[in-house]
Amino acid sequence: MKTPPAQAGRDGEEPSAGSAAVPDSGADPAQPQEALAGVVARLRDELAGMRRAMRNRAVIEQAKGMLVERLGVGPDEAFDHLVRLSQRTNIKLAEVAAALVGATAPAPETERPAAFLDDELDQYLAHARRRAADRPVPEQPRARQPEVEALQAQHQLLSARITTAREYPQLAETVAEATVGWPPPAAVSILLRDPADQLQPVGGYGNDGAAPLAATAGTAFERSDTVWVADSGDAALRSVLAVPLSAGTEVVGVLAVGWREPTELSAQAHRYLVALATPIGGRVGRLTTAELPATEADPTRAVLDAIPTPGVLLGPVRDDEGRVVDFRFEYTNAAAAALLTALAGPDATDRTLLAVLPDTGSRLLLGEFARVLADGEPARLGDVTIDAAADGTEESLVARIDATRLGDGVLCLWQRRSTAEELHDQLLQAERIGRLGSFRWDLRTGAARWSPEMYRLLGRTEEQGALPLSESGEYVHADDWYAVQEAIRGALLAGRAFTVEHRLADAPARRLRLSGEPEFDSDGAVWAIRGTAQDVTEERAVESQLRRAQEALAAQKQRLRAESQAAATMRDALLPTDPELTETPGIAVSGLCRSSEATGRVAGDWYDVFALRSGPAGASTYLVVGDVTGSGLAATVAAARLRNAVRAYAVLGMDPGELLSALNRMIGELGAGQLATLVVARYQPAEHRMQWAAAGQAAPLRYAPDGTASVLTGPLGLPVGAAPDIAYQQAAVDLPPGERLLLYTDGLVVRRDRTLASGLEALLHVGEHVDLGDPVALVDHVTATLGSAPDDDLSVVVATPTGD
């Protein structure tokens, strides 16, 4: 019989030589060996392929696990990330996974990837920069012509001279000495309006042509406009220019300039010449009109007038003993005059420092300025707050004040703080307190800007400069690299805000929380990223401590629950069962032991009832209620020991007093250090007689058949374990059928908000309201009467002689 031909090769391949049909028995005996070798070779190839697939699967699973941990996503979403990256790069999935896994396990000599941004993000940044380069550059203003620049320079020089002039003739001379843009004038006149609205000359240069100057000046004054006369026909002055001088919105005078020859002025020259009226108008009213020779200007006042910062020269006001009691304003520049006027009105400079700033002056400035005047050491007062309510000023402000001694006075420079400056300082302070730095990365220029706290967080100096986005990765720990890179990718490519935490590369114990958001241009493209970095190391440490504390607390609660359950189980095992309660000769007994709802824990309260058929006293029934100090399993175990000892001593025929004495000796000898309160009673039915002894507990209550109650009289001893060698005494009472005896622990009647007398009063009248044979009803009625639930465990035993 012939063997069927072998199957075709795997995946549609042609059968190999070893997979040919097996010849029949008449063929060459070597051919079956070749066929078998072919099958072995094919199986070996299939096994190798399966092993390669398993290895690929392993690296893919490693990459998925890494993405699940770093990105906080599920396995399926992590696999989708790998697939998209494979499709985007046109690289096999296994190779992408291997590259990703290999990137997180660098060789020792290469602790991190070489670049923070991958090729895709680098391409985005390059594209953003090309877009910025392709944008049209705003047209730059054309350079000014040389003659215009010369006029501008001359105007600045003349304006400075005008603001430092002390007399009106100096103003006229300053205009006459101009040499750029127009010919030197033959005459210059400054005319001011008098109370009769007439122009009066107060300063001039040159004596010729006063009439043409006055006539043209009068025309300019009437029109409140500039007047240019190219050729007046006057022999003295042919060309005249008259410009009104204004102080605010009011015309207060005229500047008149004349030339002997007909003169042509270019538009630029005319413009700059007319512009001189502005600084001259600013000096009107502040100069003397005396026609005196020019004197050398005070350099201090010249400097004050030339600076835009408010400057004040203060002179001391002294009392009869020479002490500085105030300062007067000797001189103020224009900026300071405007500031003082805004604060205290137009007459502020005529008053003293304390008159203008009564609160700030007396509280801070007067003392500091007096010290500067005395020892010569300058004072730098930062953030001086002038409060409108306290100083009576028109507005509140914050200023920096620098004070320096100058001769017999104090020179002060005031720098008013703007709202933006105050908010900037507050922001820097808030960043320092919150350990929070801010940054901004410009993607088109590559520039970066960090706040001062950002430098401190990363241990970098401002001289080193802020790092651009492409180099910021050097501060990111290698294990957090991918998560940070993905956050940046989401901001650049998807325009998403992000928050990601990472450890520092050189200090893994420190953690930064990086939060950022993209900025978009008019085309909707991301062109910058701004955000914050906050040191959350302490926050994470506190969270870790809190988590450990919560875990410890949960474990402790679990232990307490288990202990409480064990204690409750043991206590229930200690309590007498129904056979013991029903087999008491001549007496019916019921009992109750209840834990406090307030604490939820089992304390050391317990009760016991047991009968002895024979003994020195004959048949008898023992009733016991007890309370061991403490709570939980330890207290329950101690209660169990006492309960067993009571039964053992009772079997020996001990009376209640002897029994308590024996318990006290036992506790002292064993050195347990335990305290317990007990009431032990023994009922002898043959005699209807009840003997009882108490150790730290209240005496039992006796209820007559009609419900009236009384407290049994007898000795009350200390709790057992309180003192050695105590001999407890006992008492006896006849208890005929129909009467009842109540034994109870203090948890039944003691409340934090009520007196013990209130609880005892409720017990004395409880028989009038409930059946005393029902302990549950008895306890509930007392609880309702006292108005609050018990604060501690309680035990009660009710015994009723039956006469049997």
Encode pLDDT of 496-522 as tens digits: 999 999 999 888 889 999 999 999 888
8-state DSSP, 365: I
Judge if 669 and 789 occupy the same domain.
yes
Write down the mean pLDDT value for the chain. 80
Lowest mean pLDDT among 108-112, 276-280, 696-700: 108-112
Cβ–Cβ < 8 Å for 683, 689: yes
Q: Which residues contact 105 (CB under 8 A, 6 or more apart)?
A: none
DSSP one-letter code for 722: S
Question: Which of the pair, 78 or 662, is modelled with greater confidence?
Answer: 662
Q: Say yes or no: 306 and 277 in one domain.
A: no
Dump pLDDT digits (tens) for 298-333.
677 777 776 778 889 999 999 988 899 999 998 888
* Residue of 314, 313, 325, 315 lying closest to 354 (CA atoms): 325
Angle of helix 75-89 versus helix 31-71 axis, rounded to 10 = 110
- The stretch 670-693 carries a mean pLDDT of 88
- What does the alpha-carbon distance between residue 789 and residue 792 come to, in Å, rounded to a whole number? 9
Here the CATH number for the domain that contains residue 33 is 1.10.10.10
Q: Is position 129 within any domain?
A: no
Q: Which pLDDT belongs to residue 498?
A: 92
Q: In terms of Cα–Cα distance, which of 803, 660, 793 is closest to 719?
A: 660
Residue 467, amino acid: L
Task: Quote the CA–CA distance of 358 and 326 in Å, as a whole number.
Answer: 10
> How sure is the predictor about 180, in pLDDT bands with cuts at 50, 70 and 90?
confident
CATH code at 667? 3.60.40.10
Provide the pLDDT confidence category of residue 584 given band limits of 50, 70 and 90.
Answer: confident
Residue-level pLDDT at 91: 74
In the block, residue with structure tokens 């009213």: 285
Place of tokens 């750029």: 180
pLDDT value, residue 2: 38
My answer on whether 724 and 780 are in the same domain is: yes
Q: At what angle do helices 775-786 and 756-764 cross, to 10 degrees?
A: 140
Tens-digit pLDDT profile for residues 440-496: 988 878 888 898 888 888 888 888 888 888 788 888 998 888 888 888 888 888 889
When mean pLDDT is compared over 72-86, 556-570, 673-687, the highest value belongs to 673-687
Check residue 600 and give left, alpha or beta (phi > 0: left; psi -120 to 50: alpha). Answer: left
How far is the C-alpha of 589 from the C-alpha of 620, rounded, in Å?
13
Give me the amino acid identity at 199.
Answer: L
Longest CA–CA separation in the chain, Å: 162
The residue behind tokens 């009109």 is 289
Locus of tokens 């990459």: 63
Q: Which residues face 503 on adjacent strands?
A: 511
CA-to-CA distance for 688 and 799, rounded, in angstroms?
12
642-672 confidence digits (pLDDT tens): 999 999 999 988 999 999 999 999 988 886 6
Pick from 535, 560, 594: which residue ends a domain?
535
pLDDT tens-digit map of 741-784: 999 998 888 888 888 888 888 899 888 888 888 899 999 999 89
The string over 14-34, giving b where at least 16 C-beta atoms fall within 10 Å of a residue's C-beta and e elsewhere, is eeeebbeebeeeeeeeeeeee
Least confident segment among 55-64, 132-141, 273-282, 747-756: 132-141
Q: What local confidence, expressed as pLDDT, does residue 47 receive? A: 59
413-440 mean pLDDT: 77
Q: What angle do CA 430, 434, 435 make, to 5 degrees?
A: 110
In which region does residue 495 sit, left (phi positive, over 0), alpha (psi from -120 to 50) or beta (all else)? left
Q: Each residue of 521-564: pLDDT tens digit?
A: 888 888 899 999 999 988 888 888 888 998 889 888 888 888 88
In a domain, 323, yes or no: yes
Q: Name the 3-class secondary structure at 680.
A: strand
Residue 507 shares a structural domain with residue 606: no
Cβ(716)–Cβ(644) under 8 Å? no
Does residue 233 fall inside a structural domain? Answer: yes
Amino acid at 735: L
Q: In this predicted structure, what is the pLDDT of residue 367?
A: 92
763 contacts: CB under 8 Å, gap ≥ 6: 701, 709, 742, 744, 748, 749, 782
What's the CA gap between 618 and 595, in Å, rounded?
36
On whether both 741 and 630 belong to a single domain, the answer is yes
Tell whether 209 is covered by a domain: yes
Q: CB under 8 Å to 599, separation ≥6 — which residues? A: 631, 791, 792
* Rg over CA atoms, the chain: 54
Q: Which residues touch 676 (CB under 8 Å, ≥6 apart)?
A: 604, 626, 627, 628, 629, 638, 639, 642, 663, 667, 695, 696, 719, 720, 721
pLDDT score for 7? 39
DSSP letters spanning 244-298? EEEETTEEEEEEEEEESS-----HHHHHHHHHTHHHHHHHTTSSB-------PPP
Q: Are residues 386 and 501 in the same domain?
A: no
Task: Count up the domains in the chain and report the number.
Answer: 5
Q: Give the closest residue to 283 by CA, choosing from 358, 202, 229, 354.
A: 202
pLDDT band for position 116 (cuts 50, 70, 90): low
341-395 tens-digit pLDDT: 888 887 888 889 999 999 999 999 999 999 999 999 999 988 888 888 888 888 8
Long-range Cβ contact pairs of 377-386 (< 8 A, separation 24 or more): 378/402, 378/403, 378/404, 378/405, 379/403, 383/417, 384/360, 385/360, 386/343, 386/357, 386/360
Number of Cβ atoms within 10 Å of the Cβ of 696: 20
Reduce the DSSP state of residue 689 to 3 states and report it. strand
Locate 309 and state its tokens: 């910062």
Average pLDDT over residues 45-56: 59
What CATH number should be reported for the domain holding residue 225?
3.30.450.40
pLDDT, position 105: 46
Q: Is the pLDDT assigned to residue 701 strictly greater than 90?
A: yes
pLDDT at 119: 65
Under the banding of pLDDT at 50, 70 and 90, the label for residue 296 is very low
What is the residue whose two structure tokens read 């001062």? 452
Is there a single domain that holds both residue 394 and residue 428? Answer: no
How far apart, in whole angstroms, are the C-alpha atoms of residue 687 and residue 619?
11
CA–CA distances in Å: residue 533 to residues 200, 445, 795: 70, 22, 64
Task: In whole angstroms, give the CA distance from residue 200 to residue 495.
Answer: 72
Query: How far apart, in whole angstroms, are the C-alpha atoms of residue 255 and residue 217?
Result: 7
Residues 664 and 624 grouped into a single domain: yes
Q: Which residues pair with 415 in a beta bridge?
A: 400
Q: What is the dihedral of CA 425, 431, 437, 443, to 10 degrees?
A: -40
Q: How much is the pLDDT for 132?
A: 65
| pLDDT at site 29 | 47
Ordered alpha helix ranges (H), 21-117: 31-71, 75-89, 93-103
In this structure, the answer to whether residues 740 and 641 fall within a common structural domain is yes
Per-residue pLDDT, 377? 92
Q: Are residues 398 and 441 in the same domain?
A: no
Of these ranges, 88-97, 141-150, 401-410, the one predicted with the greatest mean pLDDT is 401-410
CA angle in degrees (0–180, nearest 5) for 558-559-560: 90
pLDDT at 106 over 60: no
- Residue 552 inside a domain? The answer is no
Given 385, 417, 449, the domain boundary residue is 417
Continuous segment of H or E residues that includes residue 664? helix 656-670
Structural domain includes residue 115? no
Structural domain contains residue 67: yes
Q: Taking a C-beta distance cutoff of 8 angstroms, is the pair 745, 625 a contact?
A: yes
Least Cα distance to 261 among 226, 235, 227 occurs for: 235
The whole-number pLDDT of residue 4 equals 41
| Whether pLDDT at 147 is above 90 | no
Amino acid in the structure at residue 412? C
Read off the CATH number of the domain in which 428 is found.
Answer: 3.30.450.20
- Convert the pLDDT of each residue in 595-622 to its tens digit: 887 776 787 888 999 988 876 667 889 9
- For residues 789 and 648, membership in a common domain is answered with yes
Residues 603 and 729 in one domain: yes
3-state secondary structure (DSSP) of residue 468:
coil
Residues in contact with 301: Cβ distance below 8 Å, sequence separation at least 6, in sequence order = 164, 313, 331, 333
Residue 334: the pLDDT is 82
Q: Which domain holds residue 208?
A: 147-283
Q: How confident is the model at residue 111 (pLDDT cuts 50, 70, 90)?
A: very low
Is 187 within 8 Å of 217 (Cβ atoms)?
no
Structure tokens at 227: 């007047």
803: left (phi over 0), alpha (psi -120 to 50) or beta: left
User: How far apart, in whole angstroms, are the C-alpha atoms of residue 47 and residue 56?
Assistant: 14
- pLDDT for 272: 82
Distance CA 224, CA 226 (A): 7
Residue pLDDT, tens place only, 633-646: 888 888 889 999 99
Question: Rounded to an integer, what distance in angstroms lies between the CA atom of residue 220 and that of residue 518?
Answer: 60
Residue 125 is assigned to a structural domain of this protein: no
Mean pLDDT of 205-224: 81
Beta bridge partners of 146: none
pLDDT score recorded for residue 15: 39
